[in-house]
Chains A and B, each alone.
Chain A
Amino acid sequence: QKEVEQNSGPLSVPEGAIASLNCTYSDRGSQSFFWYRQYSGKSPELIMFIYSNGDKEDGRFTAQLNKASQYVSLLIRDSQPSDSATYLCAASYNNNDMRFGAGTRLTVKP
């Protein structure tokens, strides 16, 4: 079974802090990993993707992948109230299947 697991939260951090979101996946055949942000009542939008072990940085966001531990994380530095949303982790398999986690709800308090 190809599962992607996330802590549903809610995760609450103060403005300016680092938010850390975590995700694990069950299938070692997973090839690429994605972080999406979904505001309430809106569609998901891609933040970034990663497919190599290590860190990948894009502005305030850093994705981390550890294939040995089957673990993906997203760090959001200098969190802003506008970052308050549900963050979805996803894994692709053979480029013909995509599995999403249930999402972690993040609240950034001013």
Chain B
Amino acid sequence: DAGITQSPRHKVTETGTPVTLRCHQTENHRYMYWYRQDPGHGLRLIHYSYGVKDTDKGEVSDGYSVSRSKTEDFLLTLESATSSQTSVYFCAIGSERDQETQYFGPGTRLLVL
């Protein structure tokens, strides 16, 4: 299994509070992704990174920001959490050599009350 961890694995928070989710990899892969998974929508890309300090928006990026200050960590921040951001968040990584295969983390279940 690819070495990907996510923290926290579960979180309950209140509307309006900032939340940061962390994705950590030990594979030295260049590409990292944040997805959310919701019933009826499947997985949707929030943001992705193609290197340290290099990030780009996905299809559902509003209300989210990311940072990647080192290869192994990709942080997803909900600037002011809303109930619509209640979801399961998955991080994924991809190598440069095997450019399009992605390996997924275990997921973070977030509930915004």
The reply to whether chain A is a binding partner of chain B is no
